[in-house]
Amino acid sequence: MYNKVVISGVDTSKLPVLSNDEKNELLRRIKDGDKKAKDQFIEGNLRLVLSLVQRFAGRGESMDDLFQVGCIGLIKSIDNFDLSLGLRFSTYGVPMILGEIRRYLRDNNMVRVSRATRDLAYRALTVKERLANEKNREPTVSEIARELNVKKEEVVLALDAIVDPISLFEPVYSDGNDAIYVMDQVSSGQGGDDWLDELLIKDAINQLPEREKNIIEMRFLEGKTQMEVAEEVGISQAQVSRLEKGAMKRIKSQL
């Protein structure tokens, strides 16, 4: 698929493919200060960077720019990789490269919430507060939607649009320089990229108390919003947020 790709002036058909043994030998030489080995290792992993960059095709971004950003992530991965951990380089490097690309996209593409969406969100919050006072409990999304005469999905999207998006960018691992985020660990559903298993996050999730575990699975594996989780579990969105943050702290401590 990539044999004829030329990106950032690199003809990928001429790139070498390194075996695991060759990678480990080069990494040992790199740790000893061998700059030539580092150049060889980078060149031997450019196909990996390219394969990850392809995930972001069709977003209107320059693929050359994303490739160069991915190469920065590759270099950072090499500099921080610890051979003593016994991990394959790709297990550590792929999330770091993806994280570098996603940070670039996040920093250069601020999401703008429309005026209509903000207005709906503030109206929903007003209704939510009024219903909570009237019913002495947290109102459901359906009740708020009925009061506003809009679809439930519109209320969920509007409220989520004005909430600080901590979920996918919450760091779950850091080596002191770069962090791995929740979004880096969620499977794409395309197979072959089960980073949850490879980085032991799945085990950390399984050790959570049952309620926190269910919330994390609904939020990050099923893609539900805090409002949807709150309605399903029968607690307030604020409680879901607190439990979610507490669960993330537990996961970080396990890692």
Angstrom distances, CA of residue 16 to CA of 13, 46, 48, 178, 245: 8, 9, 11, 28, 43
Q: Please, which residues have CB within 8 angstroms of residue 215's CB and are 6 or more apart in sequence?
A: 229, 233, 240, 243, 244, 247
Q: How confident is the model at residue 196 (pLDDT cuts 50, 70, 90)?
A: very low
> What percent of the chain stands above pLDDT 90?
8
Domains, the chain: 1-110 (1.20.120.1810), 115-161 (1.10.10.10), 166-255 (1.10.10.10)
Give the range with max mean pLDDT: 21-30, 158-167, 204-213, 237-246. 21-30
More confident call, 112 vs 11: 11
Average pLDDT over residues 213-237: 83
| pTM confidence score | 0.43
- Angle, nearest 10°, between helix axes 152-161 and 141-148? 100
Instruction: State the pLDDT at residue 20.
Output: 83
- Rounded distance between C-alpha atoms, residue 89 and residue 84, angstroms: 11
> pLDDT per residue over 116-166, tens digit each?
877 888 888 888 888 888 888 888 888 899 999 998 888 887 877 665 444
Strand-pairing partners, residue 10, are 7
Nearest alpha-carbon partner for 56 in 17, 4, 14, 109: 109
Average pLDDT over residues 4-20: 67
Tokens standing for 169? Answer: 């960018």
- Rounded distance between C-alpha atoms, residue 211 and residue 193, angstroms: 27
Cα torsion 74, 75, 81, 83: sign: positive
